[in-house]
Amino acid sequence: MKPMKTKNLLNGKISQAKKGKQKLFCVFLTLGYPNLVATERLILFCEKAGVDILELGFPFSDPLADGPTIQFSSEQALKKHVTIKDAFQVVRHVRQKGCRMPIVFFGYFNPIYAYGKKDFASDAKTAGFDGIIVPDLTPEEEKDFQADCRKKDLSQIFLVAPTTSDARASKIIHKSQGFVYYVSLRGVTGARKTVPSDLKGQLNQLRKMSRKPFLVGFGVSMPEQARDISKMSDGVIVGSAVIEHLKLGIRSAERFIEKMSQAVHRP
């Protein structure tokens, strides 16, 4: 099979958003929940609904940052024996169907290590991934793996939390490629009803360190929140709330994604 073109769609999307002064909307989906066919359908729908970036979460039995909702979706996917090869196949399929939305692999390091670090970087790029987020991998660790990702032009996105010191945040931001994932909550993922009161101040402080886009995730669950947060940040990431709607059915999730996309893009 011929490899995918090496152009990084994530960098292109971010550059486009900067030029147009547009906000970025990112959706998280758990691979294989409720099944692989649904995952593929939802990825294609997201692009039509105006989603700018797709995070494809790989299910893991011992997640560091995921709350009950995403843990549930991961458990259901693992019962179906979802593999990293399935992730590559799904992305390969949507690329073959013309999907040009940037897709980021979100997963913990253990499955990547088990797959083979060098092979993972190569196969992920060939399949059509544009970046990776590994919550339990710091910028100082696994430098050979990070080098392999850079060679394949896979953007490595790192997370900054409210509890991260300024000195540490500066180092993380410097290493993060594409955008910086700002964790808005002190805790794990999960839908919340209110926006953290100190969010704007935290983001203003981080913006002094870099002009990279800061996308806010963890806890965003309603269009009103997405609209408010997008005014403070460069974009919004929504995961648990999508999964909650997906429990009710695919159409419920699709309607929710549409509403959230409109809230971010038309504040």
- Residue with the two structure tokens 């999960």: 190
Which one of the listed residues 66, 123, 148, 234 is annotated catalytic? Answer: 66
Q: How far apart are CA 56 and CA 74, in angstroms?
A: 12
The encoded tokens of residue 163 equal 């509890």
**Alpha carbons 133 and 146: distance in angstroms, whole number:** 11
Instruction: Return phi, psi of residue 211, to 5°.
Output: -100, 5
> Cα 183 to chain center, whole Å?
12
- Is 142 known to be catalytic? no
Residue from 40, 47, 55, 148 carrying the catalytic annotation: 55
Beta bridge partners of 54: 27, 103
The terminus-to-terminus CA distance of the chain in angstroms comes to 43
Burial class for 133, CB neighbours closer than 10 Å (0-12, 13-18, 19+):
buried
Q: Tell me the C-alpha distance between 222 and 77, whole Å.
A: 25
Between the CA atoms of 139, 143, 145 and 148, what dihedral angle is there, to the nearest 10 degrees?
110
Nearest alpha carbon to residue 220 among 196, 248, 186: 196
Is there a catalytic annotation at residue 47?
Answer: no
Which residue(s) pair with 183 in the sheet? 217
Catalytic residues: 55, 66
